[in-house]
Amino acid sequence: MRTEQQRFPLRTSRMAAVLVRPLAWGPLVAVLEGDHLEVRMGLLGHAKVPLSQIARVGKMRWPWWAGVGVRISKNMVAFVPSSGPVALVGLTEPTKVRAPLGWTTGRIAVGVEDIDGFLDEIALRRGGLPRLDEDF
């Protein structure tokens, strides 16, 4: 298993600068380190998930009308500073995240700049995972 830290900046936009940045101090980033994935968006939300709880990965499109920041939808928490394509991480069991209060989710959407690199690295660290190029 790879243990070094890899950082994947979240994709931002002008809308993010106005709506997200005032509450998301520090870097907007997804970090793969050791045996876990961590997503940070300042006061808006935070997730730390063991890699062993990741069942599958894929992509989806986050619509502009769904908003930006840390968003909650049915069985999913999205860390999305902008609309557009996002990485989708399916979990083996419901996991507690901060969004900004505690919330339990089975999927996490992450709006990273390098979606393919992020998904490939998760799959590599997990020893190969089902990868879907659509919603699941």
pLDDT digits (tens, 9 = 90+) for 108-117: 999 999 999 9
pTM, two decimal places: 0.88
What pLDDT shows up at residue 12?
81
What pLDDT shows up at residue 48?
97
Lowest mean pLDDT among 7-16, 26-35, 52-61, 76-85: 7-16
User: How many of the other CB atoms lie within 10 Å of CB of 113?
Assistant: 13
Segment 60-110, tens digit of pLDDT: 999 989 988 889 988 899 999 889 999 999 999 999 999 888 999 999 999
Identify whether the C-beta of residue 111 lies closer than 8 Å to the C-beta of residue 10.
Answer: yes
Lowest mean pLDDT among 2-6, 30-34, 67-71: 2-6
Identify whether the C-beta of residue 119 lies closer than 8 Å to the C-beta of residue 110.
Answer: no
Q: Is the domain 6-132 a CATH 1.10.10 member?
A: no
